[in-house]
Amino acid sequence: MLTKHQKLMFLHGLVICLIGLIGGFLLIFSILEVISLSPIPIYLDYKIPGTVAAWKAVHVGNIMNGLMAILFALTIPKLDLTITAKKFVAYGTIFTIWGNAFFYFFGVFAPNRGLTLGDNSLGDANWAGVLAFAPAFVGALTLIAIVIVMLRAIPKDNCAE
């Protein structure tokens, strides 16, 4: 049976995976430079903004982040975590995967790719760059702390052969 925190991590992980799967269609449209739902006879002559590489990140990155949340949810019961640590892992992971989803999506529309708050060698800063960078930066720091907490919570007892 799943705990409340595990259930939340599964739910958010699956929603982020779904966003990544939908992003796969945007990747296809970006590659084709049209909106086409072959074999359905829908064809819209519209070029999706952003680069193929950016849409690939939306697709793959969100799927990987969703899977990470699910993996962490499955790992929680195996670790010696306090209830406070379990909450931190759960809510921190959820914040991180949504922060990364913002990074992937808004990075598509940011000349600087959302890698900094200001201008960088890739391009100028804009509103999309801020929306991409800020939550992902906080999420990255949070995720580092989560992994450290989880590493420290690996049981130290004898392992089964």
CA distances in angstroms from 49 to 4, 35, 36, 80, 88, listed in the order given: 39, 12, 15, 46, 37
**Can you give the pTM of this predicted structure?**
0.93
The model's pLDDT over 47-93, given as tens digits with 9 standing for 90+, comes to 999 999 999 999 999 999 999 999 999 999 999 999 999 999 999 99
Give the per-residue pLDDT at 14.
Answer: 98
Task: Evaluate if residue 157 carries a pLDDT over 90.
Answer: no
Measured CA to CA, the distance from residue 22 to residue 10 in angstroms comes to: 18
Average pLDDT of the residues in 126-149: 98
Where is 36: in which H helix or E strand? Answer: strand 35-36
Measured CA to CA, the distance from residue 85 to residue 95 in angstroms comes to: 15
User: Please, are residues 72 and 151 in contact by the beta-carbon 8 Å criterion?
Assistant: no
| pLDDT band, very low/low/confident/very high, at 38 (cuts 50, 70, 90) | confident
If you average pLDDT over every residue of the chain, what do you get? 96
Q: Give the residue from 119, 139, 146, 140 showing the smallest Cα distance to 130.
A: 119
| pLDDT band, very low/low/confident/very high, at 26 (cuts 50, 70, 90) | very high
- The values of phi and psi at residue 37, to 5°, are -115, 50
Measured CA to CA, the distance from residue 30 to residue 120 in angstroms comes to: 25
